[in-house]
Structure 1
Amino acid sequence: MAQCDVCGQNENMPYQCRMCGGTFCAEHRLPENHSCPGLDKWNDPEGVFDSGFDDSANDSGGRFSAAARTGGPLSYFRGNMTFVFLGLMVLTFVAEVFVLNVMGDVALFDKLFVLQTNHIARVWTWVTSIFAHDPYSFFHILFNGIVLYFFGQVLERYIGSKKFTALFLASGILAGLAQVGVVGLMGGNAAVRGASGAIMAVMGVLTVLNPNMKIYIYFILPLPLWVATIGFAIYSGFVSVSAGPGANGVAQLAHLTGLGIGLLYGAWVKEHGTSGPSELDIGGGGGRGGMGGGRRRF
């Protein structure tokens, strides 16, 4: 544990500035937040510090390299991908409501936002379905958004925005494909949407990195993260086996797939890294998402 050179706050995972060598908390880690001497070299062609968003930011030449350097347009996404994903969820939800309630075009809705067994070749839905939620139930997007807001920030701070983005999108896609693929092999047709598969991957990684992280189920019941994760896995597994992978309108298999990906990636991070994130100081929610009937939601 170390203290921030600016505010004196104790940090289990302190940040060290590459320019001045100081130790800082998350609030003061950026050079402009601790009056770093490196700010005097802001116009240096090599950049003041690594963008942390994409390794190609350090390569010479290339449009993306220039854009991702400190001060470039892509620098605004560094450390903020959790909020980008939350924003995409909200924008997609608005688009869903518009297509259904204003345009009244159910066929277009399915084509744009729903990953389906019978139309798995619509590759764009592999991604759009992650951010799409039930337009008739605000609870679906609200619950997923709350969990992502609290836990996404913790993991993004630890593994970085680049890896967090790759994990979120890859696990969301694979979770959806697993659900519609397995149901298709069983002779059925699944239609899924929702971010819970990706969110469960986030929870899985955090469970491996810090299993004793204290969370609050529905903001009330304190519980170690590993207990909530095991309980969720047992419940989803039991329902999938006894009632089917899409029982009660919930994509249970997508949940389990996302969780499995997160646990595997968490084990890799732990092997190649150090300690995990500290206790979730801001509190948080836990439990299963995607409740309700109708199409498979996760």
Structure 2
Amino acid sequence: MHNGSSFFSQIPPVTKNLIIINLIVWLAMFVLPGRLGTGLENFGGLHYFLASDFNPAQLITYMFMHSTQSFAHIFFNMFSLWMFGMTLERTLGSARFLFYYVSCGVGAALVQELVWALTWEDTMVGLLAKYNAIDFPEAREYIRHLMSTPDGKTAIAQNLNMFVTIGASGAVYGILLAFGMLYPNAPLYMFFIPVPIKAKWMVIGMGAVEILIGLSEAAGKADGIAHFAHLGGMIFGFLIILYWKKKGTFHGSY
């Protein structure tokens, strides 16, 4: 009992509460009957801002929801939050760490919204052409005609509800970025590499991988993961840490 209490007491409060909240929401989504569980995701998951189910609160709520189809989604996010969040919270302080975490999550959401803005029409044109056996120019003309009428805009808004993303990955990637910037030479071990890698190289590698996969997604090879949102979390995190460093927020050498 003493060891268990000691373990949890060593986790800083914001990191601990973020993990608890994410687990509670995931369990609620998992145990609720189908329609209620789906409804929770539809309400809190991030939608494209032109979709009928979008509401601004989703820019925050989406990052506390995870897929119930696989435990790996929430496990790796919460494991990373625990592993790197503890150190960052002690470095930044609880209030600043919470601000950073939420800001990276919101930043990731904004980048995802931008990606949808640039790609939703092509996606819908492709689906319309495929399921109605028409060519792409005809499908695109039909979509644009719908967007020119009130009823058509309503129909499009309903169909745009297919674009939904959930998960803390954007915020977690921001945390990984911050760790790499503040502790660039810290040795990290990856599951499939037997030698340590400096944090700065791991972060650069992860960013490069997300760019490459994101570009392949844009070319039509989607894997269902919001890779550009991950990059968004890293970009916003980089800007925040850079600003804090220039302002002299950090004291000592990290």
Query: Normalising by the residue count of structure 1, what TM-score does the alignment of the two structures yield?
Result: 0.61
- Which structure 2 residues correspond to residues 140-219 of structure 1 after superposition, within 5 A? 140-186=73-119, 187=121, 188=123, 189=160, 190-218=163-191
Residue 81 in structure 1 maps to residue 14 in structure 2: yes
Which deviations, in whole Å up to 9, do the C-alpha atoms of 1:147-181 show, x marking residues without a partner?
Answer: 00010010000111101111111211220232133
CA RMSD of aligned residues (A): 2.5
Separation (CA, whole Å) in 1 of partners of 2:43 and 2:217:
29
2:45 equivalent in structure 1: 114
Code of the residue aligned with 2:207 in structure 1: it is: A
Greater RCO structure (CA 8 Å; 6+ sep): 2
Provide structure 2 residue ranges, at least 5 long, that are not aligned to the other structure: 1-5, 124-159
Q: Partner of 1:223 in structure 2?
A: 197
How has the CA–CA distance of structure 1 residues 88 and 119 changed in structure 2, closer, same or farther, with 3 Å as cutoff? farther
Q: Is the 8 Å Cα contact of residues 114 and 129 (structure 1) preserved in structure 2?
A: yes
When residues 148 and 134 of structure 1 are mapped into structure 2, their CA distance, relative to the original with a 3 A threshold, is same
Name the structure 2 match of 1:232: 206
Question: For the structure 1 residues 269 and 236, does the alpha-carbon distance in structure 2 shift closer, same or farther, using more than 3 Å as the test?
Answer: same
Report what 1:248 is aligned to: 223
Q: Alignment partner of 1:105: what SS?
A: helix
Deviation at 1:218, TM superposition (A): 2.8
The count of residues paired between Structure 1 and Structure 2 equals 200
Contact 1:240 1:252 in 2 (8 A): yes
Counterpart in 2 of 1:261? 236
Shift of 1:136: 1.1
Q: Deviations over 1:183-230 (max 9, x none)?
A: 133224531111110011111122222211111213854211111111
CA contact (8 A) 1:86 1:145 kept: yes
Q: What percentage of residue pairs aligned between the two structures are identical?
A: 25
Deviation at residue 107 of structure 1 after TM alignment: 5.0
Secondary structure at the residue paired with 2:24? helix
Q: Is the 8 A contact 1:79 1:160 kept in 2?
A: no
Distance (Å, rounded) in 2 between the aligned partners of 1:153 and 1:221: 23
Tell me which moved more, 107-116 or 171-180. Answer: 107-116
Aligned residue for 2:223, secondary structure, equals: helix
Task: Report the equivalent of 1:66.
Answer: none
2:132 aligned partner: none
Unaligned runs of 5+ in 1: 1-26, 28-75, 278-298
CA distance in 2, matches of 1:82, 1:276: 23
1:123–1:267 CA distance, 2 compared to 1 (3 A): same
* Structure 1 position 274 matched with structure 2 position 251: yes
Question: Distance in 2 between the 1:248 and 1:159 partners?
Answer: 35
In structure 2, distance between residues paired with 1:211 and 1:243: 30
